[in-house]
Amino acid sequence: MPIITYRDALNQALREEMQRDDRVFLMGEEVGVYQGAYKVSKGMLQEFGEMRVVDTPITELGFAGVGVGAAMVGLRPIIEFMTWNFALLALDQVVNSAAKMLSMSGGQYPMAMVFRGPNGAALQLSAQHSQAWESWLAHIPGLKVVAPGTPYDAKGLLKSAIRDDNPVIVLEGEMLYNTKGEVPENEEVVVPLGQAEVKREGADVSFITWGKMVLVAQQAAEQLAKENIAAEIIDLRTLNPMDADAIASSVSKTNRAVVLEEGWSVAGFGAHVADFVQRECFDDLDAPVLRVHQEDVPMPYAKNLERAAKPDAKKAVAAAKKVLYLEN
């Protein structure tokens, strides 16, 4: 099976869906001539032309609104934000138009569109470019939200998002574009929205996570395995709708849960997961649910402070041992 990068998996998904449906088009800053800020749209202008791979000015609110209008008349736009931090300028179109138009029009206006781009912190990009957006966006009724953590899921979830008849948010991991994984070459890769996956089987503690933190959970699970602790990893993949059954099934087996997220603790998406576990899985729990997350500070620029602020495998291991009553 071919091993490709997360970036190339996204490129394959875009290319295949644009070949499949001529209503699909890509629009954003530097997606055409420059071939994408992260080279996700490499070669697409040459294949599909400037009517379907559309370079825009630096006007997030403007081109997001053009996308909403295009969806209302039956096209299927893919709006790329160079980073979700810049999407702050376009939230009115995402939240007040895309998310609500289908409902407010009584179903008269279609709203099949995708908003996608890198999410979360990279390395030394400081506070304004290092924010994880899942709790902001999953909070909004009318939006579906996905956060792929592997190349396979990046391709499969993006293809499903493009085919969905609702606005879908795709939160790509900014630090994942160069990561590699197996993606089948001669079969269609489609990951259903709303379906979590067990990335690693275990019986002692459940790591519930998504996006870039799947890699961190895997690192933590490897460290725990050296001490004969078997951690199970549940990759939610889709945050809204959330696969509650997958969470409940894992917690009923391990009786302990650690939620691992990239964002801040206050009103973070992990709080929603923890609330579900304590309400619906209370009788299965042998310890309180713990969350591992970014420190509640704007992301520092200094390397040592940035490292201290981020969630990592060491913090995940400590949380797992705490719910196992192996550490205070």
pLDDT tens digit string along 206-223? 999 999 999 999 999 999
- Residue 129 known to be catalytic: yes
Instruction: Quickly state the pLDDT bin for 111 (edges 50, 70, 90).
Output: very high
**pLDDT on residue 298:** 96
**pLDDT on residue 207:** 98
102 contacts: CB under 8 Å, gap ≥ 6 = 109, 110, 111, 142, 166
- Using one digit for the tens of pLDDT, what is the confidence trace for 24-40? 999 999 999 999 999 99
Whether residue 56 is predicted with pLDDT greater than 80 in this model: the reply is yes
- Using one digit for the tens of pLDDT, what is the confidence trace for 263-320? 999 999 999 999 999 999 999 999 999 999 999 999 999 999 999 999 999 999 999 9
User: Which of 29, 60, 174, 261 is flagged as catalytic?
Assistant: 60
The percent of residues above 90 in pLDDT, for the chain, comes to: 98
User: Which of 16, 129, 197, 280 is flagged as catalytic?
Assistant: 129
CA distance 2 to 252: 36
Q: Is 179 exposed, middle or buried (0-12, 13-18, 19+ CB in 10 A)?
A: middle
- Structural domains of the chain sorted by starting position, each given as residue range(s) with its CATH number in brackets: 3-182 (3.40.50.970), 197-323 (3.40.50.920)
Half-sphere exposure of 144 (CA within 13 A, CB side): 24
- Residue 60 known to be catalytic: yes
- Using one digit for the tens of pLDDT, what is the confidence trace for 145-170? 999 999 999 999 999 999 999 999 99
Whether residue 327 is predicted with pLDDT greater than 80 in this model: the reply is no
Q: How wide is the angle at C-alpha 238 spanned by C-alphas 235 and 240, nearest 5°?
A: 135
> If you average pLDDT over every residue of the chain, what do you get?
97
**pLDDT on residue 320:** 98
Predicted model pTM: 0.96
Mean pLDDT of 53-71: 98
Whether residue 328 is predicted with pLDDT greater than 80 in this model: the reply is no
Residue in the block written with tokens 């495998």? 313
Instruction: Quickly state the pLDDT bin for 191 (edges 50, 70, 90).
Output: very high
Mean pLDDT of 174-201: 96
154 in Cβ contact with 116 (< 8 Å) = no
CA distance 173 to 149: 7
Q: Closest by alpha carbon to 302, among 121, 122, 124?
A: 124
